[in-house]
């Protein structure tokens, strides 16, 4: 045993490493799959030897790089797992919100208990320029029937005007505008309570403050025939902003007109068409201000 140990130690001392046995010449393995595997291994080894990175780092450095890569890969897998959980959570939240929204639509009469879209739902589907729930309630509950064209357009400005002005002038200059805005607040409060009860909003006052009457008097006088210069002098708002509100109003009136026509309500359709005619005139609707 001692003699054999000395011989092995002598062989190891002469060579840096013990040569590997050849699987074909020394071990006489004849499996064709092994032959293919060995050839592929030799090709990979040849490609690695040609790679500049392979020759740029020591064995220890490469081991460190592999370790760092494995750590990064593990972190990446953790991130993907968390992202899947977040996506699943968002899906659950969205499902809950959809149920709550469906509940609101049922309680307001936009869909029936079988989730079939009713007349209110068909009207709301045509509207996207303002709050479709409140607009539909105003339309179909008769609030707009007794209003003049100028008052209708002025009231609708509350849906598209979202700036806060420091004007000291009260925009509700007469009883017609005051009454119209009270009707809007009444309908909006009813809708907001349903949304609040179903936990789709958290603050009733914040929802109601979306409907801004700050430009009602300006739009009202414009529809009565005042010049653009005259109405611009009634507010501190920039002229371009006034025109932008008017353009959005025209789009909203077009949608309301199409919605009322879609449900066969010719009276409302004619009212919105007439309101659009009182609004769409003058410099505000020129293709170019230089013409």
Angle value at C-alpha 223, between 217 and 226, nearest 5 degrees = 80
What pTM, to 2 d.p., does this model score? 0.66
Q: Where are the alpha helices (DSSP H) in 15-31?
A: none
d(CA 64, CA 60): 6
Eight-class DSSP state of 108: H
Closest C-alpha to 234, from 149, 184, 167, 178:
167
**What are the pLDDT digits (tens) for 56-87?**
777 788 788 888 989 999 999 889 888 877 77
Eight-class DSSP state of 285: G
Task: For residue 35, give the H/E element and its range.
Answer: helix 32-50
d(CA 121, CA 107): 12
Under 8 Å between Cβ of 173 and 217: yes
Question: What is the dihedral sign for C-alpha 147, 155, 211, 263?
Answer: positive
Strands (DSSP E) contained in the chain are none
**Neighbouring residues of 154: CB distance < 8 A, sequence distance ≥ 6:** 177, 180, 216, 217, 219, 220, 223
Give the mean pLDDT of 259-284: 91
Angle value at C-alpha 111, between 105 and 114, nearest 5 degrees = 120
**What are the pLDDT digits (tens) for 106-152?**
999 999 888 889 999 999 999 988 899 999 999 999 899 889 999 99
Give the mean pLDDT of 261-284: 91
Higher pLDDT, 179 or 4: 179
**What are the pLDDT digits (tens) for 30-39?**
777 878 888 8
d(CA 217, CA 158): 11
Within 13 Å, how many C-alpha atoms sit on residue 215's CB side? 28
**What are the pLDDT digits (tens) for 150-162?**
999 999 999 999 8
Which residue's entry shows tokens 């293709």?
287
Bridge partners of 117, per DSSP, are 111
Residue 210: is it exposed, middle or buried by C-beta count within 10 angstroms (0-12/13-18/19+)?
Answer: middle
Query: Does 193 score more than 60 pLDDT?
Result: yes
Bridge partners of 111, per DSSP, are 117
């Amino acid at each position: 045993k001692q003699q054999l140990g000395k011989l092995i130690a002598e062989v190891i001392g002469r060579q840096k490493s013990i040569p590997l046995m050849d699987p074909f010449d020394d071990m006489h393995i004849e499996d064709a799959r092994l032959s293919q595997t060995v050839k592929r291994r030799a090709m990979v080894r040849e490609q690695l030897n040609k790679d500049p990175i392979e020759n740029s780092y020591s064995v220890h450095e490469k081991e460190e790089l592999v370790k760092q890569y494995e750590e990064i890969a593990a972190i990446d897998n953790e991130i993907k797992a968390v992202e899947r959980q977040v996506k699943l959570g968002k899906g659950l939240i969205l499902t809950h919100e959809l149920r709550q929204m469906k509940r609101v639509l049922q309680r307001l009469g936009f869909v029936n208990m079988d989730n079939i879209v009713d007349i209110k739902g068909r009207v709301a589907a045509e509207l996207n320029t303002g709050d479709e729930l409140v607009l539909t309630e105003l339309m179909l509950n008769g609030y707009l029937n007794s209003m003049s064209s100028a008052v209708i357009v002025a009231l609708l400005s509350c849906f598209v005007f979202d700036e806060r002005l420091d004007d000291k002038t009260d925009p509700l200059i007469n009883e017609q505008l005051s009454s119209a805005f009270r009707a809007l607040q009444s309908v909006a409060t009813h809708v907001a309570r349903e949304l609040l009860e179903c936990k789709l909003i958290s603050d009733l006052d914040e929802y109601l403050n979306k409907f801004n009457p700050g430009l009602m008097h300006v739009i009202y006088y414009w529809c009565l025939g005042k010049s653009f210069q005259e109405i611009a002098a009634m507010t501190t708002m920039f002229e371009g902003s006034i025109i932008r509100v008017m353009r959005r109003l025209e789009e909203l009136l077009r949608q309301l007109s199409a919605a009322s026509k879609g449900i066969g309500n010719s009276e409302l359709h004619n009212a919105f068409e007439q309101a659009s005619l009182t609004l769409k005139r003058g410099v505000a609707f020129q293709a170019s201000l230089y013409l």
